[in-house]
Amino acid sequence: EIFELKAELNSDKKEKKKEAVKKVIASMTVGKDVSALFPDVVNCMQTDNLELKKLVYLYLMNYAKSQPDMAIMAVNTFVKDCEDPNPLIRALAVRTMGCIRVDKITEYLCEPLRKCLKDEDPYVRKTAAVCVAKLHDINAQLVEDQGFLDTLKDLISDSNPMVVANAVAALSEIAESHPSSNLLDLNPQSINKLLTALNECTEWGQIFILDCLANYMPKDDREAQSICERVTPRLSHANSAVVLSAVKVLMKFMEMLSKDLDYYGTLLKKLAPPLVTLLSAEPELQYVALRNINLIVQKRPEILKHEMKVFFVKYNDPIYVKLEKLDIMIRLASQANIAQVLAELKEYATEVDVDFVRKAVRAIGRCAIKVEQSAERCVSTLLDLIQTKVNYVVQEAIVVIKDIFRKYPNKYESVIATLCENLDSLDEPEARAAMIWIVGEYAERIDNADELLESFLEGFHDESTQVQLQLLTAIVKLFLKKPTETQELVQQVLSLATQDSDNPDLRDRGYIYWRLLSTDPVAAKEVVLAEKPLISEETDLIEPTLLDELICYIGTLASVYHKPPSAFVEGSRGVVHKSLPPRTGSSESAESPDTAPSGVQAAEQPAVIPTQGDLLGDLLNLDLGPPVSGPPLATSSVQMGAVDLLGGGLDSLMGDESEGMGGGGTFAPAPSTAVPATLGAPLSSGLGDLFDLTGGVGTLSGSYVAPKTVWLPAMKAKGLEISGTFSRQVGSISMDLVLTNKALQVMSDFAIQFNRNSFGLAPAAPLQVHAPLAPNQSVEISLPLNTVGSVMKMDPLNNLQVAVKNNIDVFYFSTLYPLHILFVEDGKMERQMFLATWKDIANENEAQFQIKDCSLNADAVSSKLQGSNIFTIAKRNVEGQDMLYQSLKLTNGIWVLAELRIQPSNPSFTDLELSLKCRAPEVSQYVYQAYETILKN
């Protein structure tokens, strides 16, 4: 067959040639490989017959990619065709050149393209404009070097509207793939040209121009208004894409118009009819229109507030249109039209389509919440629906009645009895959860509340999470309201939720209730039975910043998905965040409303709760494990910590007076101190006096070791309790742990892992527990650490996140290590070096601290610090003050230089002043904490 075609292609008769090329194209279209005929087809290019030429070009586009070497043969003909007297042929040549995506050929196309961009015929120019965008896609650098982009910009002021539209389209396309380049630098003059072209170009040209206008930022409201006036006629266009693009431009520029302007009102009135007209199109277009209207109604409900009727559902609407219309009906519901809306919704609730009926029932509830006057009617409508006993109608009704109770407390509770009759028919998680909530919330009005809730408990583990969580809360509420009868029930649910469940949310909620009830039932009552805030009317509004971004994408896929393009466009193209222009002339303040409060917030933040998650966990654990010095101390310290976590409140705990805390109470370290509050006696047992500590490296340095504190309470780790501390002995760091088994089963197969941390701390050996750990047994382990792990800056800097595994599970905790375990033994700097470095470090890197109530003299301070590798380089006395100059070096090579001021002559003044200089200033705070810890113990 190929052979016959070859013969026909080379025949002398024009007609035969044409028929042959048609046959080739036909074979190509059905997927046969006719690339073997490439040279013969290319020979047919030299012809004046436009039809034949088109066919040959079609063939070329298809096969040039697979046969780039052959395609070069055709280049000459292209170049010749670009100078053909017939503009159609010139345009055809340029269009085909743009479609041949072969690098070798692109260089030859630059000259012909340049000529065509300046062609006298507008048809050729508009084709060439698009060709530039295609070429840019193949070889961006080439297009920029050849200056085609500037030519494109000139075409924006072309006399022919179609050329303008294509130039805009090409530039927008290029700008999208290069968001940083400012190709479309629009100014009032070029905007004027675009608006002039807008009236005369084809519908797609109009869409390109409108999309381009939407990216322009008018300089004031006058300019915005004049653009709006010139865009408004596009609203009556027959093509719905043009209408939506025009709506997008108007919605965007309306932001800049003051609401008091007459024009603003006129514009609102003009926007409604085109949107309504879109709803008479076929269902697929209706759906797109409705998704866009949904956004518009959320932004400016006033546009369509009188158009409720068009959103009523027709019997033959497809389900996707019905659901979307319902949504918009609720958004538009108001006191004026609520009677109409309710009558419609009640109709819908008896339809056959299950999804639609559910949504309609839910809609009745949303109306009740949105329009207070209608609540009474909505509730009676819902009760009528419950009487139908149709399973899914009943379930939806119960879900929405729960919300109505939240919105209007103490009004409609009389219906609870009716709801309880339907308890057994509920099989969906959401409805079951809603019913359980109602029973728990109004337990005092339901005589058999405990029986009802108990009936749910039997299959507790088969319920979905939301039902389990609701059941747990409801039973705790019931217990607080009727403590005598429900003691066993609450015990049962708490053990189901904590011991038998592996869902962390459920377990945590169970433990919190358990602790609340066991420590302070009065507080529990205040927390669990607190007044609930009323729910707001619109629960499913799109978040405002996202809504503003989506308004900028009206008429695109983003407006149908209700997601920004970055959420579904793959790759980097096209993901430029757009936002509406700032409001002007409205009653809202011109400043952004966020500026003031955020400042206040920042100042107040520390007083609330330290941001570190695990501290909060530890505070909740206070009633676990036997408190060493009687419970009052533990609880009072919590209150004190909660009131004043960062002020001086903890200093009294930190001082030496707190003998009570000397044992092992599980008080969480407050973030400002970074050392556990349970500091006991120092451990440098007299060895310091035997060895001359000034020897420096190699001596047994009596580095201060804090007493062990509980890091992981048994409650949190299925019975495994871990307490520990950190120490540094002769250059090696270790983590000294005590593992205690408080469970009823044997524990074995221990392993430990650290998360990445600021100084790369990592276990230098596996966690060796030689024999399995029997119940109630403890084992002490010293785990050697090194600092060659992977590094990631933590907040706070000395935070260490640890995972410990055993045969039961993996447990996580985090702890703060004192920085002095990282002070290395060769941290003594030469004097000259010290002076030079001190001068070299910028003054803004100097931090000042005070160490309160430290009554040691200079020598005692010096030797105490030397034990922890803080070396005194020089000491001098200035006006009765002792100045110590010290240096230390961290394991990662960072040097910290210190100046410590002591006033021995003045016994009443026991505060030391510390200045620290370091090239990494964020370390200073933690070095100061280490100083304070070492000197006070």
Q: What pLDDT sits at residue 886?
A: 94
How far is Cα 857 from Cα 868, in angstroms, rounded to an integer? 17
* Helix spans in 605-714 (H): 613-620, 631-643, 651-654, 687-690
Token pair in block for residue 881: 């003050």
Q: What pLDDT sits at residue 872?
A: 92
Nearest to 133 by CA among 121, 155, 148: 148
Q: Where does the pLDDT of residue 583 fall: very low under 50, low under 70, confident under 90, or very high at 90 and above?
A: low
Pairing type for strands 846-851 and 709-712 reads unpaired
DSSP string across 125-159 = HHHHHHHHHHHHHH-HHHHHHTTHHHHHHHHTT-S
Sign of CA dihedral 832, 833, 834, 838: positive
Q: What pLDDT sits at residue 610?
A: 36
Q: What pLDDT sits at residue 668?
A: 36
- 655, pLDDT greater than 70: no
- 104, pLDDT greater than 80: no
Query: Which pLDDT tens digit goes with each residue over 40-97?
Result: 877 777 777 778 888 888 888 887 777 777 777 777 777 888 888 888 888 888 888 8
- 673, pLDDT greater than 50: no
List of residues 6+ apart from 102 with CB closer than 8 A: 64, 65, 68, 71
Q: What pLDDT sits at residue 293?
A: 93
Q: What pLDDT sits at residue 798?
A: 92
Tokens 């970055």, located at residue: 566
How far is Cα 154 from Cα 501, in angstroms, rounded to an integer? 70
Question: Contact 86/50 with Cβ under 8 angstroms?
Answer: yes
- 882, pLDDT greater than 70: yes
Using alpha carbons only, give the angle 43, 49, 51 rounded to the nearest 5 degrees: 95
Length of the chain: 937
Residues 854/859/864/866 CA torsion (nearest 10 deg): 140
Q: What pLDDT sits at residue 575?
A: 58
Query: Which pLDDT tens digit goes with each residue over 799-850?
Result: 999 999 998 889 999 999 999 999 999 889 888 889 888 888 888 888 998 8
Percent of the chain with pLDDT over 90: 16
- What value does the mean pLDDT take over residues 585-609? 37
Q: What pLDDT sits at residue 913?
A: 87
Tokens 């479609």, located at residue: 99
Query: Which pLDDT tens digit goes with each residue over 150-162?
Result: 888 888 888 888 8
Question: Contact 615/669 with Cβ under 8 angstroms?
Answer: yes
Q: Compute the mean pLDDT over every residue in the chain, rounded to the nearest whole number.
A: 79
Tokens 């002995």, located at residue: 729
Query: Which pLDDT tens digit goes with each residue over 154-196?
Result: 888 888 888 888 888 888 888 877 766 667 777 888 888 888 8
- 534, pLDDT greater than 60: yes
Q: What pLDDT sits at residue 646?
A: 36
Nearest to 1 by CA among 38, 43, 32: 32
Please, what's the b/e burial string for 325-345 (b: 16 or more CB within 10 A of its CB; e: otherwise)?
Answer: bbbbbbbbbeeebbeebbebb
Token pair in block for residue 550: 């989506």
- 147, pLDDT greater than 90: no
Cis peptide before 796 (omega within 30 of 0): yes
Token pair in block for residue 671: 């973030």
Q: Where does the pLDDT of residue 290 fall: very low under 50, low under 70, confident under 90, or very high at 90 and above?
A: very high
How far is Cα 814 from Cα 757, in angstroms, rounded to an integer? 11
Lowest mean pLDDT among 225-229, 382-386, 580-584, 791-795: 580-584
Tokens 């609407």, located at residue: 317
- What value does the mean pLDDT take over residues 536-543? 71
Q: What pLDDT sits at residue 665?
A: 37
- Measured CA to CA in angstroms, residue 554 lies from 68, 323, 326, 632 at distances of 42, 20, 20, 63
Neighbouring CB atoms inside 10 A of 538's CB total: 12
Three-class SS of 181-232: CCCCCCCHHHHHHHHHHHCCCCHHHHHHHHHHHHCCCCCCHHHHHHHHHHHH
- What value does the mean pLDDT take over residues 205-220? 87
- What value does the mean pLDDT take over residues 388-399? 86
Q: What is the DSSP letter of 265?
A: H
Q: What pLDDT sits at residue 193?
A: 84
Q: What pLDDT sits at residue 198?
A: 85
- 390, pLDDT greater than 90: no
Using alpha carbons only, give the angle 227, 566, 208 rounded to the nearest 5 degrees: 30
Helix (H, G, I), strand (E, B) or coil at 738: strand
- 571, pLDDT greater than 90: no
Sign of CA dihedral 177, 182, 186, 190: negative
Q: Where does the pLDDT of residue 702 fall: very low under 50, low under 70, confident under 90, or very high at 90 and above?
A: low
How far is Cα 325 from Cα 294, in angstroms, rounded to an integer? 9
Token pair in block for residue 465: 């999470």
Token pair in block for residue 487: 């003691």
DSSP string across 401-444 = HHHHHHHSTTTSGGGHHHHHHTGGG--SHHHHHHHHHHHHHTGG
Token pair in block for residue 664: 């092992």
How far is Cα 198 from Cα 214, in angstroms, rounded to an integer? 13
The model's pTM is: 0.58
How far is Cα 890 from Cα 760, in angstroms, rounded to an integer? 12
- 691, pLDDT greater than 50: no
- What value does the mean pLDDT take over residues 667-690? 37
Residues 611/615/619/623 CA torsion (nearest 10 deg): 160
Q: What pLDDT sits at residue 624?
A: 39
Query: Which pLDDT tens digit goes with each residue over 727-756?
Result: 998 889 999 999 999 888 888 889 999 999
Q: Which residue has the higher pLDDT, 574 or 281?
A: 281
Query: Which pLDDT tens digit goes with each residue over 346-379?
Result: 888 888 888 889 889 988 888 888 888 888 888 8
- What value does the mean pLDDT take over residues 908-923? 86
Question: Contact 791/822 with Cβ under 8 angstroms?
Answer: no
Q: What pLDDT sits at residue 800?
A: 93
